[in-house]
Amino acid sequence: MKKIICLGDSLTYGYGVRRSKIWTKLAQDKLGIEIVNEGISGDTSGGMLSRLHSCVHMQKPDAVFIMGGVNDLIAGADLGVVKANIMSMAHQSAAKHIEPIIGIPVDIQVNSIIKEWYELTDFNKISGEIKIYRQWIFDFCKSFNIKYIDFYEKIKKAGDEIYIDGLHFNERGNEIMAEIFCNEILPKNFQLL
């Protein structure tokens, strides 16, 4: 059996959704491989980097799926910090013979975000930064021959009804995430199965 560890924030964790309905569990059931969910709600790319050794390298998976950075932007971090952390996680994993796969985060639904959260940051600005970040991931992955999964474009077509609060997905959103993940992790794309 092959193993993939998913390292991330609340989108990976499956915030607000029953554990049996989160996208990593749905993908594991469909693909028949071990998928370990190492998502932590509210985590930043720096937090993910600090957990990389214990949560990923020590478990010796075949691949690590890395997706995060939006919480950094919500907290006011510079996009350069997010890029540096993602780059570091990808290169450190490759050096340990663990195939890195970068997940391109989804956009946020600015008009659906809970009112109290608006006091934290400018979500319109963050939405723009996510678009820039997406392009950087394309460029980075192409430059270093790293695989990626673009959730951004495919989720955009699903509309507002898959969000709980403008940032997190309901069960239907998790189903769509699982579908995208499974379609991209097919043997012809990643040689894992």
Longest dimension (CA), the chain: 46
Contact 102, 136 (CB under 8 A): no
- The DSSP-derived string for 54-113 is IIIGGG--SEEEEE--HHHHHTT--HHHHHHHHHHHHHHHHHTT-EEEEEEPPPP-GGGS
Question: What is the pLDDT at residue 191?
Answer: 55
Distance CA 150, CA 133 (A): 12
Question: What is the pLDDT at residue 158?
Answer: 79
Distance CA 178, CA 164 (A): 17
Q: What are the CA-CA distances from residue 123 to residues 28, 39, 129, 140 (Å)?
A: 33, 22, 10, 25
Question: What is the pLDDT at residue 133?
Answer: 96
Question: What is the pLDDT at residue 59?
Answer: 96
Contact 73, 46 (CB under 8 A): no
Distance CA 28, CA 9 (A): 18
Over the chain (193 residues), what is each successive 10-residue block's mean pLDDT?
91 95 97 96 97 97 97 94 98 97 90 80 91 96 96 82 87 95 75 52
Question: What is the pLDDT at residue 109?
Answer: 82
Contact 65, 101 (CB under 8 A): yes
Q: Which domains does the chain have, with CATH numbers?
A: 3-190 (3.40.50.1110)
Question: What is the pLDDT at residue 190?
Answer: 54
Contacting residues for 158 by C-beta, under 8 A, at least 6 apart: 172, 173, 176
Residue that has been written with the tokens 């989160």 in this structure: 22
Beta-bridge mates of residue 39: 8
Contact 170, 164 (CB under 8 A): yes
Q: Which helix (H) or strand (E) holds 181?
A: helix 171-184
Distance CA 82, CA 96 (A): 21
